[in-house]
Amino acid sequence: MPFDVTNRFARITGSEKRASAWLSSLASLVVLLVNARQASAGSPTSIFDPAATPAHSIFSLSMLVLSVTLIIFLVVAGLLLYALIRFRERSTDSGRDPAQVYGSNQIELSWTVVPILIVVMLFLSTTRVIWETEAKPKPDNALDVTVIGHQFWWEYRYPKQGVVTANELHIPISDPHSPTPTYLEMSSADVTHSFWIPRLAGKTDLIPNRVNTMWLDPSEAGLYLGQCAQYCGTQHAKMLLRVYAQTPQDFAAWVKHQQQPSRADLSDQPQADEGRKVFLHNACINCHTVTGTVATGRFGPDLTHLASRDTIASGAIPNTPKQLRAWIANPDEFKPGSLMPAMHLNNHDLDAVVAYLTTLH
């Protein structure tokens, strides 16, 4: 039901009622904030649940800023409420103007100096956090990953490991006593994107012809979710981020697996073998890479280890043979405006290509 403004104000007449309306709106604001905090603390993208050093620094800073501004709000709203109630119109009022007060040096000085001090304090604490996160020197054992934003997916390259993947970033967890952070060098192939994993760090924009850097050091293994945070086109909302933080052993095993070329011999799986031919004789190879084959396109995600990923289309769809088939038949069904064209394969070829893609572990 829409909020009935006229009715609500008609009921409130005297200034006492007005004051109580004030109080109740204040109370509902507090309830709303507490609820929002509780609701978002359970969400996988909550800024109130930091899990890495940059996110912890940002969280403490926001809490400081929030408490300072909350105190200011309470003082100002309290004084306002006090004045509203204490000096409300009464039937015994004479109707004359009250005595006018001009030029109190003390009051004017205090409301100039105190805000300046508060602003300087907030400025210094913000600078400290920026310094802590941006200017931190890279340790020698840091992992390097190049991140390239595309409309509407993420490319990840591990130059030292020779690994290329898409949409699902794997990183090792970092022990606070001997940190092994991951340093991301980020750029864009087209328009501006923004990399944001709220539980791990702040946002960093990916800008064409420019390299921005950021680092992550989650100490607990798990899946951290995020989302492109800069409008980059129609499918911006389905440009999701998935970061898999793994124990050093699991991460090493993942790297080793990703370094393998795709399987050359598919003679035991005739359908997949045929699917490979279909794949290699279609335009797929202009846009996709499968190492060890003639497919070396870089316009779309690297498919060499497609089957090892949980999702396709930048986290938008679970990676099952059924969904894969529907995606190749018509990507627009899931992401209207996505830059992969519908390939118009017949059913036979579609099934074969899907059989081939599911062998790409």
Q: How many residues form the binding site for Cu ion (CB under 5 A)?
A: 4
Give burial (CB, 10 Å; 0-12/13-18/19+) of 105.
exposed
Q: 3-state secondary structure string, 86-109? A: HCCCCCCCCCCCCCCCCCCHHHHH
The Cα–Cα gap between 343 and 352 comes to 14
Out of Cu ion, ligand HEC, none, which partner does residue 232 contact, by CB within 5 to 8 A per kind?
Answer: Cu ion
Q: Which is nearer to Cu ion, 171 or 186 (CB)?
A: 186
Per-residue contact track with ligand HEC, 142 to 161, x per CB under 6 A?
----------xx--------
Q: Report if residue 282 touches ligand HEC, rule: CB under 6 A.
A: yes
Q: Within 10 Å of residue 320's Cβ, how many Cβ atoms?
A: 13
Q: According to the binding rule CB under 6 A, does residue 299 interact with ligand HEC? A: yes
Query: Minimum CB separation from Cu ion for residue 184, in Å?
Result: 15
Contact of residue 266 among ligand HEC, Cu ion, none (CB under 5-8 Å per partner type): none
Query: Using CB under 6 A, which of the segments 4-12, 28-36, 214-222, 297-305 binds ligand HEC?
Result: 297-305
When computed from its CA atoms, the radius of gyration of the chain, rounded to whole angstroms, is 29
283 CB contacts (<8 Å, ≥6 apart)? 343
230 touching ligand HEC, by CB under 6 A = no
Q: Which is nearer to ligand HEC, 216 or 355 (CB)?
A: 355
CA dihedral 116, 117, 119, 121 (to 10 degrees): 160
Compute how many other C-beta atoms are within 10 angstroms of the C-beta atom of residue 48.
17
Region of 315 on the Ramachandran plot (φ > 0 left; ψ -120 to 50 alpha; else beta): left
- Report d(CA 266, CA 358) in Å as an integer: 12
Please report how close the Cβ of residue 309 comes to ligand HEC at its closest, in angstroms. 6
Strand partners, 149: 154, 188
Phi-psi map region of 284: left, alpha, beta (phi>0 left; psi -120 to 50 alpha): alpha
Q: Is 193 in the site for Cu ion (CB under 5 A)?
A: yes
Q: What type of residue is 119?
A: V
With contacts defined by CB under 6 A, how many residues of the chain interact with ligand HEC? 32
Compute the distance between CA of residue 20 and CA of residue 81 in angstroms, rounded to an integer.
Answer: 10
Given the rule CB under 5 A, which of 19-27, 87-95, 129-137, 185-193 is the region that contacts Cu ion? 185-193
Q: Report residue 68 as tokens.
A: 């300072």
Interface with ligand HEC (CB under 6 A), residue from 304, 338, 352, 355: 338
Candidates 2-10, 183-191, 210-218, 277-285; binding stretch for ligand HEC (CB under 6 A): 277-285
Among 163, 201, 214, 239, binds Cu ion (CB under 5 A): 239
* Contact positions with Cu ion (CB under 5 A) in 201-230: 228
Minimum distance from residue 240 beta carbon to ligand HEC (Å)? 10
Tell me the window of 31-39, 93-101, 193-201, 304-312 that interacts with ligand HEC (CB under 6 A): 304-312
Residues that bind ligand HEC (CB under 6 A): 152-153, 166-167, 235, 279, 282-284, 286-288, 299-301, 303, 306, 309, 312-314, 324, 328, 335, 338-341, 343, 345, 353, 357
Contact residues: Cu ion, CB under 5 A = 193, 228, 232, 239
